[in-house]
Amino acid sequence: MQNTPKTISRRTVASGLAWSVPAVATVAAAPAFAASPRCINASAGDVVKYPGNSGLFKQGYGFELTVTNPTEGTVAVSPGTGYVQFDKKRENGTVRLFSADPCKGGKELKLGDELLVLEPGESITLWLVFEETGNSANDSGCVVSNLKVRLVSGTVGGDGLCDTAPVTDACFGSTTPDASC
């Protein structure tokens, strides 16, 4: 009779790992999750153009902006910085926030305005205008902007809070509709 070495089947190894891996994975994942930053979400609607002679704004772009606070803390947002990246060049400008479309009566919001404070889980809809870009020609591009974010004093849940919120999906084509102001 021949002696064959005893082997362990894959099924036996897999059943043993099923009991040991989850405990290790849970312990290893907890610190990484706790240290990850928590950020406000800001997504853009359709972009309109404010031509150089639009009256209300000069050489700029605007769009509806939905801002959501997925954190446990009460936060305040404010206009940040940004630029317009055209196909072949980059133009700086000024970021302004409004309560609604300024061509339809929306009022400009200032730092500390009640509308710019979001409770945990709350979403608001604003209007962002990026103006004085030096160009409103028929070029395609994207408005690249970051809102400033800060924890409202006296609230909890600010550990790991991002201090900016990138505005996403604010791109436009070469035939961007003009705003009707």
Q: Among residues of the chain, what percentage have pLDDT more than 70?
A: 76
Phi, psi of 58 (to 5 degrees): -115, 125
Domain with CATH 2.60.40 in the chain: 41-172
- The CATH classification of domain 41-172, taken from the options 2.60.40, 1.10.3470, 3.90.550, 2.102.10: 2.60.40
Residue 26: how many other CB atoms lie within 10 Å: 9
Residue 12: is its pLDDT beyond 50?
no
pLDDT on residue 107? 96
Task: Single out the residue of 19, 18, 40, 22 nearest to residue 30, CA to CA.
Answer: 22
pLDDT on residue 5? 46
pLDDT digits (tens, 9 = 90+) for 120-138: 999 999 999 998 887 666 7
Model pTM score? 0.74
Q: Are 168 and 44 in contact (CB under 8 A)?
A: yes
Tokens of 5: 């070495």
Residue 150: is its pLDDT beyond 80?
yes
| Helix ranges (DSSP H) in the chain | 10-35
pLDDT digits (tens, 9 = 90+) for 68-111: 999 888 999 999 989 999 888 899 989 999 999 998 999 999 88
pLDDT digits (tens, 9 = 90+) for 49-60: 887 766 788 888
